[in-house]
């Protein structure tokens, strides 16, 4: 029975808000929607209930993000401390706009850190998150140094969100990642806000919304990817537990937090029923039938047009230099100039 399976991936939105204003994200597009951060004791009770009922096991990684900025939580140290006490690890995804000092105890509880970037210039940041790009760059460098100095050895990476206007900045960000010795994962920025995505698919957005999307996002792959969906596709989101700042279980990372897309409350409701609800939400039928689920689960993959930069080998560099010198010598000989 599905409800008794052990979940390896838990995504826990510990705050329902974000200081960025990304227009294609459910949080950024609705800045007034939630101002709530989960209390540390409620976070602990939620995890204890999942552990006691065998829904998760010790060693699981609790990723503190979905559509909120976890570094804005007033007691991040308390959350990480609770997870460590329960034998769990914490994953973080941040926009890098807030500088948090990570103590050795906090670092010991971390599994991974992901930094999301919507470009590599203030101009790109002004179009999407409206955060201070230089401050973000500085925070990322400093927090990484501090975490490493305190013993952090987990995986770190930059998730670079590709828009039309930041294609030429990919290499700059890749070099930045190289200097920091973190992985670089570019992916095509998505139309994340569920209603906007539905509106775009059904042609129901205003002319102004369509114009903005057509100037910002790369949408060419959405419909072809939906058509690629195999019959009887199994949505991998069924294997993830997505919990919001009120301890409600949500259908998935993509759907909104409103009641229509909730499966029940992990603390208050019958846990078996809550977990069964995850597989029977009406939204999933249409999402699977249209191929949208297939697109959503492949959207964050590295695009085929991106080729990682490789510095030329020593042999190639010597060959290039010699070739250039010989050509210059021949040109000058032809024009009667003495070679230098």
Residues that bind ligand SF4 (CB under 6 A): 18, 20, 22, 25, 27-28, 67, 69, 95, 116, 129, 235, 237, 251-252, 254-255, 283-284, 287-288, 293, 296
DSSP labels for 271-318?
HHHHHHHTT--HHHHHHHHHTHHHHHHHTTSPPTT-----PPPHHHHH
Of 44 and 193, which CB lies nearer to ligand SF4 in the complex structure? 193
Of 46 and 94, which CB lies nearer to ligand SF4 in the complex structure? 94
Burial of 14 (0-12, 13-18, 19+ CB in 10 A): buried
- Which CB contacts under 8 angstroms, 24+ apart, belong to 174-177? 174/308, 174/309, 175/309, 176/120, 176/137
Of 34 and 46, which CB lies nearer to ligand SF4 in the complex structure? 34
CB of 255 to ligand SF4, least distance (A): 5
CA–CA separation, 75 and 78 (whole Å): 5
| H or E stretch covering 62 | strand 61-63
CB of 222 to ligand SF4, least distance (A): 14
Burial of 219 (0-12, 13-18, 19+ CB in 10 A): middle
CB of 162 to ligand SF4, least distance (A): 14
Of 81 and 294, which CB lies nearer to ligand SF4 in the complex structure? 294
The CA-to-CA distance between both ends of the chain, in Å, stands at 80
- Which residue is listed with tokens 């695009």? 303
| Chain Cα centroid distance, residue 96 | 12
CB of 54 to ligand SF4, least distance (A): 22
Of 44 and 252, which CB lies nearer to ligand SF4 in the complex structure? 252
CB of 81 to ligand SF4, least distance (A): 24
On the CB side of 311, CA atoms within 13 Å amount to 4
Of 25 and 182, which CB lies nearer to ligand SF4 in the complex structure? 25
CB of 128 to ligand SF4, least distance (A): 7
CB of 288 to ligand SF4, least distance (A): 5
Of 144 and 293, which CB lies nearer to ligand SF4 in the complex structure? 293
Q: Do the beta carbons of residue 266 and residue 243 sit within 8 Å? A: yes
Q: Do the beta carbons of residue 165 and residue 127 sit within 8 Å? A: yes
């Amino acid at each position: 029975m599905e409800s008794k399976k052990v979940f390896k991936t838990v995504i826990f939105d510990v705050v329902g808000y974000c200081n960025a204003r990304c227009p294609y994200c459910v949080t950024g597009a609705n800045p007034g929607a939630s101002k709530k951060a989960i209390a540390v004791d409620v976070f602990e009770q939620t995890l204890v209930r999942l552990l006691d009922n065998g829904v998760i096991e010790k060693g699981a990684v609790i990723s503190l993000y979905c559509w909120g900025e976890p570094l804005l939580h007033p007691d991040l140290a308390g959350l990480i401390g609770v997870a460590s006490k329960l034998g769990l690890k914490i994953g973080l995804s941040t926009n890098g706009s807030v500088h948090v000092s990570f103590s050795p105890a906090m670092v010991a509880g971390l599994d991974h850190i992901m930094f999301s970037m919507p470009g590599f210039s203030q101009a790109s940041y002004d179009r999407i998150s409206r955060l201070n790009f230089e401050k973000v760059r500085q925070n990322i460098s400093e927090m990484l140094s501090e975490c490493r100095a305190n013993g952090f050895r987990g995986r770190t990476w930059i998730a670079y969100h590709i828009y039309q206007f930041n294609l030429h900045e990919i290499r700059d960000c890749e070099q930045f990642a190289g200097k920091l010795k973190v992985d670089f994962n570019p992916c095509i920025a998505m139309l994340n806000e569920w209603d906007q995505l539905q509106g775009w698919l059904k042609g129901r957005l205003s002319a102004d919304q369509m114009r903005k999307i057509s100037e910002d996002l790369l949408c060419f792959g959405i419909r072809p990817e939906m058509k690629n969906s195999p019959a009887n596709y199994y949505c991998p989101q069924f294997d993830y537990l997505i919990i919001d700042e009120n301890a409600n279980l949500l259908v998935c990372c993509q759907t909104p937090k409103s009641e229509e897309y909730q499966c029940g409350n992990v603390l208050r409701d019958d846990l078996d029923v809550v977990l069964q609800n995850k597989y029977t939400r009406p939204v999933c039928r249409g999402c699977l039938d249209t191929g949208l689920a297939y697109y959503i689960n492949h959207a964050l993959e590295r695009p085929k047009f991106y080729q990682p930069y490789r510095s030329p080998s020593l042999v190639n560099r010597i060959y290039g230099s010699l070739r250039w010198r010989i050509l210059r010598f021949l040109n000058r000989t032809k024009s009667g100039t003495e070679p230098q």
